[in-house]
Amino acid sequence: MVVATQACSDWNALADQVLGGEEITREQALSILNSDDDELLSLLAATFRVRREHFGKQVQLYYLKNAKSGLCPEDCGYCSQAADSDAPIEKYAMLNEAKLLDGARQAAENNARTYCIVASGRGPSNREVTHVSNVVRKIKDEYGLHICCCLGLLSPEQATELKDAGVDRINHNLNTSRNFYDDICSTHSYDDRLDTLKTARDVGLELCAGLIVGMGEEYNDLIDVAFELKGLNVESIPVNFLNAIDGTRLEGKGDLAPQFCLKTLCMFRMVHPSTEIRVAGGREVNLRSMQAMSLYAANSLFVSDYLTTAGQTPQEDFRMVRDLGFEIVTGDAKVASLLNSSEQDMPASSCEKSGNCVSLPIADAP
C-alpha cells in the first residue's frame, strides 16, 4: 500500500541535510519510496554524494558459504530451507573442516574480504559452535579473512565462544518489521531475533542485520526496519530482494520493479549514511540490467552464489565494478594479485579497445 506524502523532490537538499549531520525523518524516508520514477537519476546522484563522503568509490566484496543446508524446523515463508518448503535443494549437515577451509580459499581467490559462514536451523548446537570456532581459527591463520557467522539464535555462551575464536561479526537479519513478522514466520518471533543481536553485541561482536524487500510488506514496514537497525547501531546492512523460489510459501511472488529496489537502497543510505550497505540476495533477479546503479547507494555486494540460488560469476561482478570506475577493497596483496590475474583473463570490452574505459584500481582495506 502506498501512503500519500508530500513530495521531496529536492534530493540535493536532503543530501545536504544528511551530510550536515541531521538525521532524516520517517516522512522524508517515505517520500523517497514514494518518489516518481522520473526523479530516480536525481535521487541516485544525491544519494551518491552521501555514499561517496563515507566510502568514496570503494566496494567491499562478501563471499557466502552455506555450511549446513536444509534440515530446518522453522517455517520462514521466503526460505527454500524451511520445514514447509518443497524446493528441490541440496540438504546436508554441517560441513567438515576441509570443505569450510576450501570455501575460505575460494573467498580469497574471489577477492572477498569477508567470508560468511551460514548454517540453516533455529540455532546451532554447542558441538556445531565448537566446530565452527575451530575452523575459524585456522581460516584466520591462513587467509586473514574477516569472518561473519550466521548460525541462527545464539545463547550468550555460544556468542562468547565464537568471539573468542576470532569471529568478527554475527549476521542475524530482522527480515521485516515487527508489524509484518507474523505474516512470514510463526516458529520464532521478531523479539527472538532482536535478542540474538543484543546478545552478540553484549559480547563485543559486530552486527550485520538487514531485511528482505518484496514479501508483501508496506512501505512503512521497510522504514520501520531502517530505523530499528539505526537504533541497534549495526555495522552492516544486507538489503535482499525477494527471489521467490518455487516450493516456498512465497512462490510466484515477484512484483518488485528495479526502480523501486534502487529507491529502497537510497532510503537506507539516507537513514544510514556511514553504515556499510550491501546489495545482497535477489539483485540479479530484481535489478537485472540496472544492477550497477545499486552501487551508487550501496558500498558492498556478495560475489558468486548465494545459499541455494546462483548468482552471476565473480568475473561479471569485477567487470561491473570496473565499468563504474569504482575500486574493490582487498585485505592483502595476495588477493589483489588474484584479482589482477582474473582481470587479465577477461576479454576486453569495446570501450577498453577504444581506450575510453576507467581501469579498476585496487585499494587496501583500512
The residues that are catalytic are 72, 76, 79, 116, 148, 208, 278
Assign 16 to helix, strand or coil: helix
The rounded distance, in Å, linking the Cα atoms of 267 and 135 is 38
Give the H/E segment covering residue 362.
strand 362-364
16-53: buried (b, 16+ CB within 10 Å) or exposed (e) per residue? ebbeeeeebeeebbbbbbbbeeebbeebbebbbbbbee
Q: Is residue 289 exposed (0-12), middle (13-18) or buried (19+ Cβ within 10 Å)?
A: exposed
Task: Report which of 177, 175, 148 is spatially closest to residue 75, judged by C-alpha positions.
Answer: 175
Angle at 212 between CA 64 and CA 126, to 5 degrees: 50
Helices (H) and strands (E) in the chain, counts: 13, 11
Cα Rg, the chain, nearest whole Å = 20
